[in-house]
Chain A
C-alpha cells in the first residue's frame, strides 16, 4: 500500500517537474515546481519523516510564492497567452539529462543498499531535535550563519548602489591592446557598436 502511494507520488513529482519546462506561462511553471516539492514532502511524510516532509511543503510554498513574484517581474509572458520556448543548446541539454538519468538509474539498479528501515515506533522528531541541539549543533549553527551571510549578500547585490556611489562609476575595462578598445561589449551600453579606432596612435 505504502509502496503504491510512494510510487504514485514519485510519478507525480517527476511529471510536475517535467511540466515546469513545458508549460507556456512562467507562473504556471512555478506552481508546477511547487507541486513537485509538495509530492516530495508527502513522500517524506509517508516514509516516516514527518518533520522533514511538512517543513519541505511549508518552505517550498513560501519559496515558490517569492519565485512567482520574480516571474511576473522579469518575464515578458507571465500570463501564458502565447507559446513560450526559450532554449539554447537544446540537443546537448536533452542528452545530458537523459545520460544523467540512465547513468544514475543503472547505478541504483546494480547496487544493493542495505535494507534497514526506520522502526515503526521510533521517535524520529525527538531524535532530530536532540541531534540538532546536541552532537550536530555546530553544523546547525553554521547553517544559520550561512543564512545570515546570504541575507547580507542578497541586500548588497540587489541594492542600487553602494555607500559611496556606484562602484564602477567612470571605470573602463582594459583594452585588448595598449590604448585599444576594450574586449566585448561596454557595460554602460553605448549602443550600436560605435568604436574609436586608433586611440593614441
Chain B
C-alpha cells in the first residue's frame, strides 16, 4: 500500500516534469522540468529500496547516483545557458533555431 502511494507520487512528479520540460520556453524553467523528473525517479528508488528490496545497499547507491546526475545536469545546464546567452543574447528556446528546417 505504501509502495503504491509512493510510486504514484513519483509518477505524478515525472508527468509534471515532462510537461514542464516540453512546454516551457525559458531555458531555466525547462531545467526545472528535468529536475522534477529526476525528483520522481529519486522518490521511486527510495520507495522500491525501502519496501521491496529489503534494504539492499545497492538501492541507496543508486539514489546517490541519481543525486550526482542532478548536480551534473544543473552545472552543465547553467554553463550551456550562459554560453548561449553570451553568443546569441538568447534566453528562450525559440531563439536558437539555426538548425531548424
Contacts and interface: CB of A to CB of B under 8 A. Distances in A.
Interface residues of B, number: 79
A74 B24 CA distance: 14
Given A67-B74, A75-B28, A96-B19, A52 B63 contact: yes
A59 B79 contact: no
Contacts of B5: 3, 6-7, 10
A89 B55 contact: no
B68 A128 contact: no
Given A88-B94, A116-B51, A184-B97, A70 B78 contact: yes
Interface residues of A, number: 88
A79 interface: no
The DSSP consensus for interface residues of chain A is: helix
Contacts, number: 255
A124 B49 CA distance: 11
Nearest to B17: A17
Contact of A97 (B15, B80, B86): B15
Interface string A151-169: 1011111101000000000
Interface of B: 1-9, 11-20, 22-29, 31-33, 35-36, 39, 42-43, 46-55, 57-58, 60-61, 63-65, 67-68, 70-72, 74-76, 78-83, 85-89, 91-94, 97-100
